[in-house]
């Protein structure tokens, strides 16, 4: 797995209303911002993913296989933390694509967000997974704080090229699991049979100093 993450701060997008974001603004938010982590899964041609992403260099076994002449393919994936700005970017994207009117977009933008932390895994490989396998991913997908505390995904919503993981706002102790005072946390999943593990820096994702959904 090759990790790719070029951070763009939240302040850049607060200078104008989301309804004025350009196509390039939306693309950057949903691909190169602090709310997004990207990488590649290496798979043998015709096989399931064989090597996962942990944020480090490609697995040595993969390179050995490549040297041995085995056919490998690298498939990109993205993990998106859908807090306020990515959520608005997704709404704006639909307007720019013509699938949502500005009036309906305003309704969606003002709607109360769900009582959960929402993450999305986007990759072409999701078409290889059966619904049962996708549901099993709830047991291998978690958020981990620096102090070692962790919560598992409580719900999964699956599509053809994207699966959403919903996490409870509170930890086992009944207190907010993520807060403005938190430094960072790690999203970890084996949803595709390989480990994908990426850290998010909370200070980079605050909106006006707040952690907004």
- 131-143 pLDDT, tens per residue? 677 667 767 899 9
pLDDT at 184: 94
pLDDT value at 14 more than 80: no
Token pair recorded at residue 157: 């919503």
Rounded Cα–Cα distance for residues 193 and 178 (Å): 27
Q: Report CA torsion sign: 196, 147, 153, 9.
A: negative
pLDDT of residue 7: 41
Residue 60 has pLDDT above 50, yes or no: no
Give pLDDT, residue 46: 53
Give the integer Cα–Cα distance in Å for 200 and 213.
Answer: 15
Alpha-carbon distance of 182 to 190, in angstroms, equals 25
Name the residue among 187, 185, 188, 202 with its Cα closest to residue 147: 185
pLDDT for the residue numbered 130: 67
What does the pLDDT read at residue 134?
Answer: 67
Which is higher by pLDDT, 86 or 47? 86
Tokens 């850049």 — which residue?
12
Question: Looking at the predicted structure, is the pLDDT value of residue 211 above 80?
Answer: yes
Span 150-185, pLDDT tens digits: 999 998 887 667 889 999 999 999 999 999 998 999
pLDDT band at residue 128 under the 50/70/90 scheme: low
52 — pLDDT class (breaks 50, 70, 90): very low
pTM for this entry: 0.80
Among the residue ranges 53-67, 75-89, 164-178, 188-202, the one predicted with the least confidence is 53-67
Residue matched to tokens 């104008």: 16
Which of 34-43, 82-91, 102-111 is predicted least confidently? 34-43
Sheet of 49-51, strands arranged across: 49-51, 36-44, 72-81, 117-123, 162-167, 155-158
Please check the confidence at residue 51 and state whether its pLDDT lies above 60.
no
**The two structure tokens encoding residue 86:** 């990515």
């Amino acid at each position: 797995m090759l990790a790719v993450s070029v951070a763009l701060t939240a302040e850049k997008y607060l200078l104008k209303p989301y309804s004025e974001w350009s196509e390039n603004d939306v693309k950057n938010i949903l691909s190169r911002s602090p709310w997004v982590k990207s990488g590649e899964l290496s798979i043998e041609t015709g096989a399931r993913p064989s090597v996962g992403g942990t944020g480090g260099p490609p697995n040595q076994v993969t390179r050995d296989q490549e040297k041995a002449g085995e056919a490998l393919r690298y498939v990109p994936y993205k993990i998106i933390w859908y807090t306020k700005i990515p959520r608005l970017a997704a709404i704006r994207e639909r307007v720019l694509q013509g699938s949502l009117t500005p009036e309906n977009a305003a309704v969606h933008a003002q709607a109360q967000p769900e009582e959960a932390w929402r993450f999305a895994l986007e990759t072409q490989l999701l078409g290889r997974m059966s619904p049962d396998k996708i549901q099993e991913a709830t047991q291998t997908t978690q958020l981990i704080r620096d102090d070692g505390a962790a919560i598992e995904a409580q719900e999964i919503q699956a599509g053809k090229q994207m699966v959403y993981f919903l996490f409870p706002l509170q930890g086992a102790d009944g207190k907010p699991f993520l807060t403005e005072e938190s430094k960072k946390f790690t999203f970890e999943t084996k949803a595709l049979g390989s480990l994908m593990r990426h850290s998010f820096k909370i200070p980079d994702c605050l909106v006006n100093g707040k952690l907004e959904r």
